[in-house]
Amino acid sequence: MEQPLRKTVIAGNWKMNQTPAETTQLLEEMKPLVKNAYCDVVVCVPYIDLHAALQATANTSICIGAENCHWEQSGAFTGEISAAMLSAIGVEYVILGHSERRTHFGETDVTVQKRIRAALNEKLKIILCVGESLEQREQGITVELIAMQVKIALGGVSEDELKQIIIAYEPVWAIGTGKTATAEQANAVCAVIRQTITDLYNQNCANAITIQYGGSMNAKNAEELLAQSDVDGGLIGGASLKAPDFAAIVGIASKT
């Protein structure tokens, strides 16, 4: 079968790091290092840094994303930011369902689905994160759990809307821990996600969707992970806070 042409996307997730001034500085350092990227480059930053990030990356190919959004357009939701607010300032991407949101802030597959609907309505591109905990992996329920997370999150998403969505497989036990899934483990679960897309939609959709791996990806392990047939990019936490490291991963992705 012909190898499908999918977009390779390398995205940084800065989490709760960087002030606006530090954002400008880090992106200025990154810009020349990733300017010849032969893949899509996205940097997702805290809400407070979005303006600085958009300014620093204007007229470059780096896209800026937020790390979450609320499902309502506006209203009495103190401390929240809506998808409409993000698109109003020119944000292109949003991460949804990150395991840190699920673990520390009580997010569920159902609230992730609602956030996806809101983001789709605002034409934002979405990086949907799914992943199992170590306990779940040891119980042998990774496949069922990942399929369920994907199915619930994509409830009500049309085939056309699916084009706005990237799925990131992020084993919870590998995030920020320095423990990386082996390339085989990462590829196997990314393949499960692709099969789930076939089941929900069709083979064409499954062939077209970008599936990233995330979890302690760095300049040393990126090559092997990105070489896997079902891994189409990376969602990078820690290593995205160092311009040379992030750029090295972008460089590797540009060659795969």
d(CA 196, CA 199): 5
Among 68, 216, 221, 228, which residue sits at the site for ligand PEP (rule: CB under 6 A)?
216
Pairing of strands 165-169, 9-13: unpaired
Q: What residues pair up with 64 in beta bridges, in sequence order?
A: 43
**Residues in region 138-167 near ligand PEP by CB under 6 A:** none
Among 96, 217, 222, 247, which residue sits at the site for ligand PEP (rule: CB under 6 A)?
217
Nearest to ligand PEP of 72, 109 (CB atom) = 109
Residue 204: CA count within 13 A, CB half-sphere: 3
235 lies in the site for ligand PEP, by CB under 6 A: yes
211 lies in the site for ligand PEP, by CB under 6 A: no
Catalytic status, residue 98:
yes
- CB 154 within 8 Å of CB 134: no
226 lies in the site for ligand PEP, by CB under 6 A: no
d(CA 14, CA 76): 27
Q: Which window, 22-30, 52-60, 153-161, 170-178, contacts ligand PEP (CB under 6 A)?
A: 170-178
- The pair of structure tokens assigned to 73 is 């357009």
Q: Provide, rounded to whole angstroms, the least separation between the CB of residue 170 and ligand PEP.
A: 5
176 lies in the site for ligand PEP, by CB under 6 A: yes
- The pair of structure tokens assigned to 238 is 């820690």
- CB 37 within 8 Å of CB 256: no
32 lies in the site for ligand PEP, by CB under 6 A: no
Nearest to ligand PEP of 123, 220 (CB atom) = 220
CB contact set of 143 (below 8 Å; sequence gap of 6+): 189, 192
d(CA 174, CA 212): 14
Q: State the catalytic residue, choosing from 67, 98, 107, 132.
A: 98
Q: What residues pair up with 9 in beta bridges, in sequence order?
A: 40, 233
Among 8, 9, 13, 63, which residue sits at the site for ligand PEP (rule: CB under 6 A)?
13
Catalytic status, residue 104:
no
> If we measure between CA atoms, which residue out of 254, 181, 256 comes closest to residue 213?
181
Q: Which residue is nearest to ligand PEP (CB)?
A: 237
* Size of site (CB under 6 A) for ligand PEP: 14
Q: Which window, 25-33, 113-121, 137-145, 168-176, contacts ligand PEP (CB under 6 A)?
A: 168-176
Q: Provide, rounded to whole angstroms, the least separation between the CB of residue 101 and ligand PEP.
A: 10
Residue 79: CA count within 13 A, CB half-sphere: 1
Instruction: Give me the residues that bind ligand PEP (CB under 6 A), please.
Output: 13, 15, 170, 175-176, 214-217, 235-239
The catalytic residue positions are 98, 170
